[in-house]
Structure 1
């Protein structure tokens, strides 16, 4: 079972360690591909809109393609972000911005409608749910139907300072979560996502066939009643 873990910070802190424990309970080490932000994508979106016309025109396309190719091959995506100021880390937010062309209104990827994903966030105190929400929203708009979350206030500044009691709790939580994710079937998209997709079908049908986004939808067969989900 292939897993891609995208870490919202370079250092291997508490959030990273929890994500890694989860990965290793889901699959074998040789089936895990890891990316670290900003090391593996050290850019902010410039708002040039080049990706809307042609995704390969993005000035950061080569780095983005490596990550997207890995995500497309994976069955499960794990996105981890520490909580900074009750929000995701700046590198994770930059990642979200740089991949917005894959949202349903633009160039969604068929594979995303068939995946499972988990978002993990920790904080010394509070704010984890606020850090998770933008990441979860992005996964939803990519079309991912199974999105799970794990948030924990660890009352510590780093992994070494996390109490033994909390580490035992994390081990148990990750065992339960890994089993839940592995045993679950890929769901149908929510009614909202289906509504959004069908709304965009109508919008793309009205656009010129040669408009870049409409062409993408036409090539997928989505303008001819095909759906990206089973």
Structure 2
């Protein structure tokens, strides 16, 4: 692969040098060591308004004038994305939840993260880190029209310790950054990943979405239809037969 591989790290820890942030940066270092061009998005320093669920994004016009569109462009232009969050009550923190919400229904209907490689990283005081790490990958992995590929997850229940003092855990994160880069280089498609979910999607979910998009392609889902058409993921004759 001659072109530069782009990997973005999306970090939501409210502590700049928090445990999950530290692991994400180690993963980015590993990606850089494999030759990737890496970019960090530190969400607490960005102005991202809370999603109100207006669904105007499906028409291609989010009403907020904040930093989100710039951040989304960085994410959508990347080949790989590393999401990291601390665990709050076995879920990502509010900053990450809001970012995912802002990707939200537009992402759900367009699968714009499809074809990208994803890593989820989370830390917890006692429990839930692996669940959160996996959850961070699901929006891409479960793409309706095109799936993303999960290169791996890292969920660490760290207690009151500081991960920066644990060389072994730092190495796990760095190796994960190397792995996502190698996956991109080799076009690793993970053919057996999420087979049941993909089967359900093919038989039930995607046909339903086809019909909804066709019905609203000149109105509330014009931006969705145009996105899918430009990427060759939806065709009018297929829609009519659905």
TM-score > 0.5 by shorter chain? yes
Does the residue aligned with 1:45 lie in a helix, a strand or coil?
A: coil
5+ long unaligned stretches in structure 1 = none
How many angstroms does 1:175 deviate by? 4.4
Alignment of 1:162-181 (within 5 A): 162=165, 167-181=166-180
C-alpha distance 87-57 of structure 1, shift in aligned 2 (>3 A) = closer
5+ long unaligned stretches in structure 2 = none
C-alpha distance 171-209 of structure 1, shift in aligned 2 (>3 A) = closer
Q: Aligned-residue CA RMSD in angstroms?
A: 2.8
C-alpha distance 186-40 of structure 1, shift in aligned 2 (>3 A) = farther
How many angstroms does 1:36 deviate by? 1.7
Taking the aligned partners of 2:103 and 2:223, their CA distance within structure 1 comes to: 19
How many angstroms does 1:178 deviate by? 3.3
Number of residues of Structure 1 aligned to a counterpart in Structure 2: 215
More divergent stretch after superposition (125-134 vs 147-156): 125-134
Does the residue aligned with 2:221 lie in a helix, a strand or coil?
A: helix
Alignment of 1:1-230 (within 5 A): 1-10=5-14, 11-27=16-32, 31-52=37-58, 54-60=59-65, 62-104=66-108, 106-109=109-112, 112-142=113-143, 143-147=146-150, 148-159=152-163, 162=165, 167-184=166-183, 185-187=187-189, 192-193=197-198, 195=202, 196-205=205-214, 207-213=215-221, 216-217=224-225, 219-220=229-230, 221=232, 222-224=234-236
Taking the aligned partners of 2:157 and 2:40, their CA distance within structure 1 comes to: 24
Give CA-to-partner distance per residue, 1:125-160, whole Å, 9 cap, x none. 211133234422222344542122111112335445
How many angstroms does 1:212 deviate by? 3.4
Taking the aligned partners of 1:71 and 1:35, their CA distance within structure 2 comes to: 9
CA contact (8 A) 1:116 1:186 kept: no
Taking the aligned partners of 1:31 and 1:225, their CA distance within structure 2 comes to: 40
How many angstroms does 1:90 deviate by? 0.8
TM-score (norm 1): 0.79
CA contact (8 A) 1:115 1:186 kept: no
